Chain A
């Protein structure tokens, strides 16, 4: 990992377009003077690119907030719906994320994985009794946990392609093969970006450590880890990593169940997938 890669990523991500359906929806909803605020917010908070652009703006030192804003909803209250809408429209104007990137990384499947991880992460947070605000933060953390991958696919497609292929062929963790070919894993890239965007400490921690899990006070991180495995176990989308990780003791202790029993306990998760798809399929 070199500083030049980090700096390059930070600059490139500024120009990163959002996902096709959200771009289409934002353009459509912002052209309709009668569009409801909650519909617009829902579209924005289901797009990782739009979400990070908004959190980045609101958490910048300009606002000097004593506490970091971790959700689009709170950003709406702080800075106003119209400003949030216009930031999203600015992102939409950058075009749409290329579905046919040179890495052969399917961005629709990536978004389905991210969105279902987000929704399941929130369900888990509610299940272990976290507050409504913490549960929403879990949604954001789930949505952004793999953000580094889509950045690699967009800006380092050749190296990322090799990492994806080796991971698949040899059944190795993707973050390991990323290190080999890119010199940086998606968790490290996610951490660098999240720090640059001045996101909250717990959010940065969840993004940075969703693969190297030790015992942690950060329940958010544990929810994202578990939700990530559940989403993969249920085969909701695909984020390029063929391996499903077992729950370590700390996670079993946190939720009182292992991966399969927790999946069962959550009941029918198909509706999570169906709802997520409504934000993806054009």
Chain B
């Protein structure tokens, strides 16, 4: 498999001179299997540039897996040009929201409304299908198998593991490892911790031995102190996951929107210095770079 980041930024696009190196688009990852099946993880603004690149391949069959429906992961969907072109076949996968009981088709239909967008859903010319994924239930796309797992975030969020031809990639979407909501002196602390530990073990198992682990690492430890419960991970939590899961390469993504290229470079140097013994290769997600496994 090979893959490419088309969007690496969290929350909001950040174009400008300070983000030229790593990129300013919100989350989108293109994965290609050996047989050239097209799997897209998330539809942030990065999907627009990916769409331009796909125009030479028309008609296409695209499988778009949405981790969760926060804006920065779906806002590129109406600008994914293949949806307007006949003979393209696009399948959008996502969960069933337990609060709204809505399926993933809402992610597109809610944006294609008169007040927000000039084209209606009925006017899309491609063949568009929606599929509801269930935790732990694998989905086949060509020779690839995609397995979702629920990961903690303020909205239903799936991490996806992609296995194909003996290689594997795991993407967390937005993920903050669950903290114990009780204080150590509370009666409920130990029991809650046992739930937290069980879930952590399940998460580590889901990403076990992957060739590439792509994690939400929005914050430094220092920043995280005031952002607990916001639903995002840290560089350190990513390294802990990768170490326990025995991942080969660890990609940090969902770069915090105020983070400049220079500050990302500085953080990266610190990580290399502070984690010299880490068993996996540490890398910052960067738009436009082809990565072959």
Contacts and interface: CB of A to CB of B under 8 A. Distances in A.
Interface stretch (A72-80, A200-208, A272-280): A72-80
B98 A132 contact: no
Interface of A: 36-38, 41, 57-58, 60, 62-65, 73-74, 76-83, 86-87, 90, 132-133, 136
Contacts of A41: 181
A87 B199 CA distance: 21
A136 B194 CA distance: 13
A132 B231 contact: no
B155 A83 contact: yes
B195 A80 contact: no
A132 B196 CA distance: 14
B230 to A, nearest CB: 10
Contacts of A86: 99
Given A41-B181, A87-B99, A81 B229 contact: yes
A63 B182 contact: no
A77 B192 contact: yes
Contact of B231 (A36, A78, A82, A90): A82
Contacts of A132: 190-191, 194
B293 to A, nearest CB: 30
A80 B191 contact: no
Contact of A83 (B98, B135, B137, B198): B98
B156 A83 contact: yes
B229 to A, nearest CB: 7
Contacts of B132: 62
Interface in B78-104: 95-96, 98-99
Contacts of A90: 99
A80 B196 CA distance: 11
B178 interface: yes
Given A73-B188, A77-B178, A83 B134 contact: no
Nearest to A67: B198
A71 to B, nearest CB: 9
Given A62-B134, A64-B134, A82-B155, A77 B195 contact: yes
A74 B195 contact: yes
A87 B98 contact: yes
Interface in B220-237: 229, 231
Given A37-B229, A87-B98, A87-B99, A64 B191 contact: no
Interface in B184-220: 186, 188, 190-192, 194-196, 198-199
Contacts of B150: 63, 78-79
A64 B182 contact: no
- Which of B98, B136, B157 lies at the interface centre, i.e. has the most chain A CB atoms within 10 A of its CB? B98
Nearest to B183: A38
Interface string B129-160: 00010111100000000000010111111000
B105 to A, nearest CB: 16
A38 B179 CA distance: 12
Given A64-B135, A83-B98, A133 B194 contact: yes
Contacts of B137: 64
A148 B246 CA distance: 50
Given A63-B135, A132-B190, A133-B191, A79 B229 contact: no
Given A77-B195, A79-B150, A81-B154, 16 more contacts: A38-B188, A41-B181, A58-B98, A63-B150, A73-B188, A73-B191, A77-B196, A77-B199, A78-B195, A80-B153, A80-B178, A81-B181, A82-B153, A83-B99, A83-B154, A136-B191
Nearest to A89: B99
Contacts of A65: 135
A146 B136 CA distance: 35
Given A38-B188, A73-B192, A77-B196, A64 B181 contact: no
A38 B186 contact: yes
Nearest to B176: A80
A133 B198 CA distance: 13
Contacts of B196: 77
Interface string B110-142: 000000000000000000000010111100000
A62 B157 CA distance: 14
- Which of A64, A83, A133 lies at the interface centre, i.e. has the most chain B CB atoms within 10 A of its CB? A83
Contacts of A38: 181-182, 186, 188
Contacts of B195: 73-74, 77-78
Nearest to A54: B98
Contacts of A64: 134-137
